[in-house]
């Protein structure tokens, strides 16, 4: 079949540099996005690492407590001592009274521990110099507010669709992937993006939808990785991977209509095993030798 486009490997080097620069920068951006998720949503239940609980707490809220309390036991845990957090939480549970605010020494804790970030200059963060602002966080935690969801939704929809626009455009010049799989890989992230945003709102209504947040997020990640890796390989490593290397097995498998999908898969798995086993074995023995050295040293 003749292609109506220039395959990635045949693009001029300046174009390849442009594509690669974009892909690498967006890739680093994706990593930072994941770290950001780990440190905000990931800490919602007070434990490091992302769990279904984190997602439920972030969107539906932890309705057994107040916002302030949950933040002090979650993402804001490191910002005050055990005793200080206990004092604040006690004050909240006792009704978050204005008179007690000064008398119980809560004002002082907030001023020394929280106001350095939560002040009028910090855009997007509540200003805890104002008692009324702090007070609004002493009510039942019902998760992300309507206005914050609206804000984050529109930013994500506009921003991420742009990212996938360009990644999809670059990947559309790939030649090692069949047209059908290309269409799926390019279209999928938009479906997952919409599902992801929708799932936040659904989780706000009912915590069962937390699984959809995870599923859609992973779907976006998988299509991102697939397009990213294929594009980079085709631009710079076409010969070693697709002519002399492991990619040839994939290409043969893709183009051979005679064998059934299962046998194609088995053949591919076998080849991958033959190819990967020595690499893995060497890596393991190297790691063991390194560990040995460490143990002998200590």
Binding site for ligand HEC (CB under 6 A): 40, 67-68, 71-72, 75-76, 79-80, 113-114, 116-118, 125-126, 137
Residue number, 20 or 119, with CB nearest to ligand HEC: 119
Least separation in angstroms between residue 96's CB and ligand HEC is 12
Residue number, 39 or 265, with CB nearest to ligand HEC: 39
- CA angle, 211 as apex, 205 and 215 as ends, to 5°? 125
Least separation in angstroms between residue 134's CB and ligand HEC is 8
Rounded to whole angstroms, how far apart are CA atoms 215 and 123? 31
Residue number, 129 or 252, with CB nearest to ligand HEC: 129
Residue number, 23 or 76, with CB nearest to ligand HEC: 76
Residue number, 119 or 248, with CB nearest to ligand HEC: 119
Rounded to whole angstroms, how far apart are CA atoms 110 and 170? 50
Least separation in angstroms between residue 79's CB and ligand HEC is 4
Residue number, 72 or 227, with CB nearest to ligand HEC: 72
Least separation in angstroms between residue 51's CB and ligand HEC is 16
Least separation in angstroms between residue 214's CB and ligand HEC is 18
Residue number, 142 or 248, with CB nearest to ligand HEC: 142
Rounded to whole angstroms, how far apart are CA atoms 63 and 57? 8
Least separation in angstroms between residue 158's CB and ligand HEC is 19
Least separation in angstroms between residue 50's CB and ligand HEC is 13
């Amino acid at each position: 079949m003749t292609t109506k486009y220039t395959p990635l490997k045949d693009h001029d080097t300046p174009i390849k540099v442009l594509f690669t620069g974009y892909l690498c920068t967006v890739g680093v951006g994706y990593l930072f996005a994941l770290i950001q998720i780990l440190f905000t949503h990931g800490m919602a239940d007070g434990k490091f690492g992302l769990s279904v609980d984190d997602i439920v707490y972030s969107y539906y809220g932890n309705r057994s407590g107040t916002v302030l309390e949950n933040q002090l036991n979650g993402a804001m845990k490191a910002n005050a001592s055990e005793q200080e957090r206990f004092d604040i939480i006690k004050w909240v549970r006792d009704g978050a009274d204005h008179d007690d605010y000064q008398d119980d020494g809560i004002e002082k804790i907030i001023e020394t521990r929280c106001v350095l970030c939560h002040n009028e200059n910090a855009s997007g963060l509540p200003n805890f110099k104002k008692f009324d602002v702090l007070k609004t966080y002493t009510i039942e935690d019902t998760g992300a507010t309507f206005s914050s969801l609206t804000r984050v939704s529109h930013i994500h929809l506009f921003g991420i669709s742009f990212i996938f626009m360009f990644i999809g455009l670059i990947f559309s010049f790939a030649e090692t992937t069949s047209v059908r799989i290309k269409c799926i890989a390019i279209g999928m992230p938009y479906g997952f993006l919409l599902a992801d945003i929708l799932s936040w709102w659904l989780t706000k209504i009912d915590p069962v939808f937390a699984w959809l947040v995870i599923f859609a997020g992973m779907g976006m990640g998988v299509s991102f990785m697939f397009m990213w890796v294929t594009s980079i390989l085709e631009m710079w490593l076409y010969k070693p991977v697709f002519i002399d290397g492991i990619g040839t097995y994939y290409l043969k498998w893709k183009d051979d209509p005679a064998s059934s999908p299962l046998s194609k898969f088995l053949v591919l798995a076998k080849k991958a095993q033959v190819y990967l086993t020595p690499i893995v074995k060497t890596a393991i023995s190297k790691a063991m030798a390194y560990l040995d050295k460490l143990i002998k040293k200590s």
